[in-house]
Amino acid sequence: MDRRVYSPPIFLEDKCCSVFNEYRIFAIMTTFIVNIDNKKTEKAIKAVLDAFGLDYDVKRDDDIANRPLNKSEQVIYDRLKKSAEEIRLYKEGKIELQDANEFLNEL
């Protein structure tokens, strides 16, 4: 079985050479991508990572407003746009909206 462990460098006459023993070192890295939408949560997550002594990298997505909407986001956007249009028409007196009691009776 060929397993080796890296030992610290040995310095001889201003030269550095590495010595391998009986075992190998395997470096395994796991990557977590966390989408955080508020500063308070971001600060808490950073504190936890710092407490565990873990390295992390913060990347901000500044182009999120410029990307195209996905299907579910487009549905929500269309519904909000329609609702805003209905409110505008109601304020102008062009349409009548259903009151809450009528709406609940329909359910």
pLDDT tens for 8-36 read 554 444 444 444 455 566 667 777 788 88
pLDDT at 88: 94
Do 34 and 46 touch, CB atoms closer than 8 A? no
Mean pLDDT computed over every residue of the chain: 77
- For the entire predicted model, the pTM comes to 0.39
Domain boundaries, the chain: 37-106
Q: Which tens digits make up the pLDDT trace of 61-107? A: 766 667 788 899 899 999 999 999 999 999 999 999 888 888 888 88
